[in-house]
Amino acid sequence: MPAAEINRAEVDERLDRLEREYGDVPVRDERETVPAGVFPDLRALSREGYSGGSYVWVVREPSAAPPPSDGLAAPEADRERVLMVLGRGSSRWGLPGGGRECGENCEEAAVREVREETGIDCSVTRPFLVCRRVTVSEGDHDERLHSLWTFFDGTYEGGHLTIQPGELNGAAWFADPPERMQPENAFRAADWRR
């Protein structure tokens, strides 16, 4: 009997829509094997409809930067900045974003999550990377959990950094991306300054 393919049709449909709307989108296929004891919880989330998330590389132009606080020197004002977050329990900088809610497309989820996590309003332009992941168990579970992780380029539209308690340990605007980044950030940062 073949393995149950949980959320495969939804993931394929979402990827097809992204490719129709944006054209050629870089897609990375990933396989993740998790411990048998962890798999049942992931399977339950997948059966409830969780099938990935969306994140944004938000760029703020120098003209959109707020004035410095009294007593502080003016920041370097002639460079773009990118918004990054430090998730709870993580030592690597990542992009703001998260899971889709009922009825949202990838773009809507990304914009909502950035606002909820950081207080920043943004718009998305196009995906710079899509990761199609299949998660399997080290144990004897025969299901395959499909998810889609979409990473967008985006533009700052307004707001001030206010991190969501319990979700993040920090957020900051970087003129030069930090050394310790999540792999997807490093993928985008590689050609940001070129």
Q: Give the tens place of pLDDT for each residue, 106-156.
A: 999 999 999 999 999 999 999 999 999 999 999 888 899 999 999 999 999
Residues with Cβ within 8 Å of 6's Cβ and at least 6 positions away in sequence, in order, are: 43, 46, 47, 143, 144, 145, 146
Residues 6+ apart with CB under 8 A from 151: 54, 55, 56, 57, 95, 127, 128, 129, 130, 131, 184, 187, 188
The average pLDDT across 51-59 equals 94
Averaged pLDDT score across all residues of the chain: 87
Q: What is the predicted pLDDT for the residue at 194? A: 47
Asked whether the CA dihedral 48, 126, 171, 181 is positive or negative, the reply is positive
Domains parsed from the chain with CATH numbers: 5-62+80-189 (3.90.79.10)
What is the dihedral sign for C-alpha 69, 74, 78, 82? negative
